[in-house]
């Protein structure tokens, strides 16, 4: 092997070791946040181990445990992001706070089933479930008016799909690109986009894969539909908890002058 080739091998090996050490350093630094997310995901999905079909279906049904918990977590996240906005004046925090507040209201249909108010006719006509909700408007819902699942490009506007896409882009793709591509880092610093730690954001993917695996391969095919739906509700609940953890990270750890930087460039 020539000296030039040896140099290249050693150079890239050292670069790889440095990157891995930085990722390990990040994980150690955020061990409390990461541990809390792991525990929440494990405990949430373990209902399929410890409870029967009827109980799990009940826990995952509308206005029951996981849906209500998701709404509460969204609301808590909205409050913390709003507090972060007051602290840092970051417009991004304000936008996310508003989105999380809307998500909390949408999750429980703005209390419609609790308070029993009627859906306005204009909304009922375009809502797949006849509810006072935005995400169930037929263009954003996963089924049409007849209850038939959508396919191909029609699914691109589904709120559930957009939620998964946004969390994966925000929690994984964005911090990865910011750390590995300097031009992306310069852009995020210029427009002041806070960067979540990828070591926390990666659990968006873990939660989704766990739900999909249960739904597609593990749960008996002859199970009631509510038993399958519960896996989706649990995934949404775990995602809302991860967002809460990220909001706490931003509020406690993020300094105003570090907005736009990856955590590995700060610690």
- The DSSP code sequence of 43-69 is HHHTHHHHS-HHHHHHHTSTTSHHHHH
pLDDT at 171: 97
DSSP character string of 126-158 = TBTTSSS-STTBTTTSSB-TTSPBP-GGGGGG-
- Return d(Cα 56, Cα 3) in angstroms, integer: 63
| pLDDT exceeds 90 at position 12 | no
Give the pLDDT mean for 130-152.
Answer: 79
Closest CA to 167 of 257, 66, 88, 244: 244
Long-range CB contact pairs, 34-39, < 8 A, 24+:
34/199, 34/200, 34/203, 36/245, 37/200, 37/203, 37/238, 37/241, 37/242, 37/245, 38/203
| pLDDT exceeds 90 at position 220 | yes
Give the pLDDT mean for 9-25.
Answer: 83
Cα 237-238-239 angle, rounded to 5 deg = 90
Residue 143's DSSP bridge partners are 149
Secondary structure E strands in the chain: none
Confidence of residue 56 (pLDDT cuts 50, 70, 90): very high
Closest CA to 75 of 249, 240, 242, 252: 240
Closest CA to 246 of 203, 199, 196: 196
| pLDDT exceeds 70 at position 5 | no
The three-state secondary structure class of 90 is coil
DSSP state of 172: I
- Return d(Cα 231, Cα 211) in angstroms, integer: 5
Q: Cβ(150)–Cβ(144) under 8 Å?
A: yes
Name 239's Cβ contacts closer than 8 Å, sequence gap at least 6: 163, 167, 204, 207, 208
Phi, psi of 52 (to 5 degrees): -80, 175
Select the more confidently predicted residue: 257 or 47.
Answer: 47
Confidence of residue 89 (pLDDT cuts 50, 70, 90): confident
Instruction: Judge if pTM exceeds 0.85.
Output: yes
Give the pLDDT mean for 198-223.
Answer: 96
In angstroms, what is the C-alpha Rg of the chain? Answer: 21
Select the more confidently predicted residue: 37 or 126.
Answer: 37
Mean pLDDT score of the chain, rounded to an integer? 90
């Amino acid at each position: 092997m020539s000296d030039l080739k040896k140099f290249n091998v050693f150079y890239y090996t050292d670069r790889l070791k440095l990157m891995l050490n930085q990722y390990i350093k990040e994980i150690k630094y955020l061990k409390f946040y990461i541990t809390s997310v792991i525990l929440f995901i494990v405990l949430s999905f373990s209902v399929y181990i410890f409870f029967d079909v009827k109980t799990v279906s009940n826990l995952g049904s509308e206005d029951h445990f996981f849906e209500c918990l998701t709404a509460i977590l969204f609301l808590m996240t909205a409050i913390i992001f709003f507090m972060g906005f007051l602290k840092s004046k970051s417009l991004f925090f304000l936008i996310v706070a508003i989105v999380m507040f809307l998500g909390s209201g949408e999750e429980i249909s703005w209390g419609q089933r609790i308070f029993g108010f009627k859906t306005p006719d204009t909304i009922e006509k375009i809502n797949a479930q006849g509810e006072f909700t935005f995400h169930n408007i037929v263009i954003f819902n996963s089924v049409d008016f007849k209850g038939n699942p959508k396919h191909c490009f029609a699914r691109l506007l589904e709120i559930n799909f957009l939620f998964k896409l946004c969390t994966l882009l925000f929690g994984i793709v964005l911090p990865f690109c910011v750390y590995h591509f300097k031009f992306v880092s310069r852009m995020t610093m210029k427009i002041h986009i806070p960067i979540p730690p990828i070591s926390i954001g990666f659990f968006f993917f873990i939660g989704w894969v766990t739900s999909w695996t249960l739904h597609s391969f593990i749960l008996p095919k002859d199970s009631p539909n509510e038993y399958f739906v519960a896996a989706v509700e649990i995934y949404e609940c775990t995602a809302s908890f991860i967002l809460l953890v990220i909001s706490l990270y931003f509020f406690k750890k993020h300094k105003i002058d570090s907005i736009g930087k990856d955590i590995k460039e700060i610690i």
